[in-house]
A and B are shown apart, each in its own frame.
Chain A
Amino acid sequence: MVQILEKQQPTSPIIQLNEQSTVMESKGFNLWYGEHHALKDINLAMNENEVTAIIGPSGCGKSTYIKALNRMVELVPIVRTNGEVNYRGRNIFEKGYEVEELRTKVGMVFQKPNPFPKSIYDNIAYGPRIHGIKNKKILDEIVEKSLCGAAIWDEVKDRLNQNAYGLSGGQQQRICIARCLAIEPDVILMDEPTSALDPISTLKVEELVQEMKENYSIVIVTHNMQQAARISDKTAFFLNGEVIEFDQTDTIFSTPSDQRTEDYISGRFG
């Protein structure tokens, strides 16, 4: 059950979630690209074993926000932040929090499939290897388990030594998901994972997300309203770097409380 404990301003509602435990939450989080204030006072909380969707028009800061959750934004030199993003109670931006540690817990799947130009096996084994696993038997098991987890084992089990670039776009994206699963993360961030895929591959990835939430907490950015409605438990609507509304997906899509959310969802948006 969700309870709305307080509603300070209409633009930044804080939603506290009780029964399920919060995995990640941001409190008064701001981000600037140089002078450009890209994220304004973001307050969101993501729950364990739930899918949280982030929707909003192009340029509203969805990618920026999801990349802040594993501090990938820091690869852009001009980025400044303030406020908190807590992962399991600890502020990831606090001094001494190592990004490498964070990113093994909070994995990411990118918009464009980006496998390495290596064999399928080496792609999946990359994560475990960088974390020091050398034992061939253990690696074999991880590779099989991850590929099964990403629903692509049957398609590639006979050609694990072939280059991942020989696969179709949809298969490559599931390889990337498998690669992410191989580091056994706690949270998985997905930035428009199906935008480069055909409808059938999209469907497979969507089904996969549904299955994966048994074991992981998932944050997914999507431009596809139906997708958000189909697969997410909660939905956050972003506009110009602010969270306009954050609620149960059903509520957002049936009875949104903000006019702008309604306009966007019904496609009446500029």
Chain B
Amino acid sequence: MRYLQQEHVMKRMNKRLVWNRVWKGVFIAATSFALLALAILLYRILSQGMGYLNFDFLTNFASRIPENAGIKAALVGSLCLMAVVAPVSIILGVSTAIYLEEYAKKNKLNDFIRMNISNLAGVPSIVFGLLGLTIFVRMLGMGKSILAAGLTMSLLILPVIIVAAQEAIRAVPKDQREASYGMGATKWQTIIRVVIPAAIPGILTGSILALSRAIGETAPLVVIGIPVILQFLPTGMLDTFTALPMQIFDWAKRPQEEFQYVASAGIIVLMAVLIFMNSIAVFIRNKFQKRY
């Protein structure tokens, strides 16, 4: 006796094909929805902000007159912030991921640590702001400086980088490690010559996403008490500063309509910085991409 009867199979065929098409439609609709929202957002920001975006906007300090308002202090401030966040968070994050994946023994304590790192990624940013205020600004006496804010932001994105790096390291095939160990390589040599090069694309993708989050994050800066209106540039890591999202937020909450357009121009600058960072990630990823 046959289990599959041809007539039955044929009768169900149409139904299956219809469902197949329905689901395809559902997924296309979901994607279109997201794309549409994005398009509206972009259109609004570009149409409002483009008029105010010019060279002066990039080189002027903040001003009470919308036409004279510029983003110089915030742009430089955000870049300085990244100069602290990027090295600190990537070095700490990748090192932690290497320890957890390659060195840490499988036991209850380490499982607990692993689980809690993922949980930390979900803690609201304002909580990290409070932590930074207590430890870096007050206890270590760094004040409202680039360093204090940078270290706070690093803590904020550290869990994301650790988790991304762990996943990238775990995805390196076991046989690659075996090949290296089999030739008498030490653990360190295996990590630096085999594991990290293979994991770099994944690590970078995660890191850049995390950095993009840090550059757009406002709450921790508000908690730390970063000023909004600054008429000078920072000269060192212990100077105070302002950042793009702070500046944009300040403009957006002003009553004058013109400042809304200035805010849009600020958002365009912020997005340009993000696109620039992402293209670096894509470039490095393509350079290192290896197939197995």
A residues contacting B by CB (< 8 A) are 70, 72, 75, 77, 99-104, 107-108, 110, 112, 114-117, 126-127, 130-131, 165, 176, 179-180, 183
Inter-chain CA distance A180–B181, complex, in Å, is 11
B7 at interface by CB-CB < 8 Å: no
Contact of A77 among B105, B173, B181, B184 (CB under 8 A): B105
Scan B154-173; emit 1 where CB is below 8 A from any A CB, else 0. Answer: 00000000000000000001
Closest 8 CB pairs of A and B: A117-B290, A104-B184, A114-B175, A103-B184, A108-B182, A127-B183, A130-B185, A100-B184
In chain B, what residue has the closest Cβ to A100?
B184
B193 at interface by CB-CB < 8 Å: yes
Kindly list chain B residues whose C-beta atoms are within 8 Å of the C-beta of A183: 183-184
Q: Are A75 and B193 in contact (CB under 8 A)?
A: no
Kindly list chain A residues whose C-beta atoms are within 8 Å of the C-beta of B106: 77
Q: Are B184 and A101 in contact (CB under 8 A)?
A: yes
Contact of B182 among A72, A77, A112, A131 (CB under 8 A): A72
Contact of B183 among A77, A101, A104, A117 (CB under 8 A): A104
Beyond the given pairs A104-B184, A179-B183, 19 more chain A to chain B contacts, judged by CB atoms under 8 angstroms and listed by A's residue number, are A72-B178, A75-B178, A99-B181, A99-B184, A100-B186, A108-B178, A108-B182, A114-B178, A114-B179, A116-B180, A117-B291, A127-B184, A130-B180, A130-B184, A130-B189, A165-B291, A165-B292, A176-B179, A183-B184
Instruction: Give the shortest distance, in Å, between A105 (CB) and chain B (any CB).
Output: 8
Inter-chain CA distance A104–B183, complex, in Å, is 6
Inter-chain CA distance A61–B173, complex, in Å, is 23
Instruction: Give the shortest distance, in Å, between B6 (CB) and chain A (any CB).
Output: 38
Q: Are B186 and A107 in contact (CB under 8 A)?
A: no
Kindly list chain B residues whose C-beta atoms are within 8 Å of the C-beta of A75: 177-178, 181
B194 at interface by CB-CB < 8 Å: yes
B281 at interface by CB-CB < 8 Å: no
Instruction: Give the shortest distance, in Å, between A113 (CB) and chain B (any CB).
Output: 9
Instruction: Give the shortest distance, in Å, between B150 (CB) and chain A (any CB).
Output: 35
Give 17 CB contacts A-B under 8 Å.
A72-B178, A75-B181, A103-B182, A104-B183, A110-B175, A116-B179, A116-B194, A117-B290, A117-B292, A126-B193, A130-B183, A130-B186, A131-B184, A165-B291, A176-B179, A179-B183, A183-B184
Inter-chain CA distance A110–B105, complex, in Å, is 26
Instruction: Give the shortest distance, in Å, between A167 (CB) and chain B (any CB).
Output: 13
In chain A, what residue has the closest Cβ to B173?
A114
Chain B interface helix/strand/loop/mixed: helix
Kindly list chain B residues whose C-beta atoms are within 8 Å of the C-beta of A108: 178, 182
Using A100-B184, A100-B185, A117-B291 as known contacts, say yes or no to A130 and B193 having CB atoms under 8 A apart. Answer: yes
In chain B, what residue has the closest Cβ to A77?
B106
Instruction: Give the shortest distance, in Å, between B99 (CB) and chain A (any CB).
Output: 16
Inter-chain CA distance A131–B175, complex, in Å, is 20
Instruction: Give the shortest distance, in Å, between B185 (CB) and chain A (any CB).
Output: 5
Inter-chain CA distance A241–B245, complex, in Å, is 66
Contact of B181 among A103, A131, A165 (CB under 8 A): A103
In chain A, what residue has the closest Cβ to B179?
A114
Kindly list chain B residues whose C-beta atoms are within 8 Å of the C-beta of A179: 179, 183
Inter-chain CA distance A112–B178, complex, in Å, is 11
Inter-chain CA distance A259–B179, complex, in Å, is 38
Inter-chain CA distance A100–B180, complex, in Å, is 10
Q: Are A126 and B290 in contact (CB under 8 A)?
A: no
Inter-chain CA distance A103–B185, complex, in Å, is 8
Contact of B175 among A102, A112, A126, A127 (CB under 8 A): A112
B80 at interface by CB-CB < 8 Å: no
Kindly list chain B residues whose C-beta atoms are within 8 Å of the C-beta of A102: 184
In chain B, what residue has the closest Cβ to A128?
B183
Inter-chain CA distance A70–B179, complex, in Å, is 12
Inter-chain CA distance A114–B180, complex, in Å, is 10
Kindly list chain B residues whose C-beta atoms are within 8 Å of the C-beta of A116: 176, 179-180, 194
Kindly list chain A residues whose C-beta atoms are within 8 Å of the C-beta of B221: none
Using A77-B105, A117-B198, A117-B291 as known contacts, say yes or no to A107 and B193 having CB atoms under 8 A apart. Answer: no
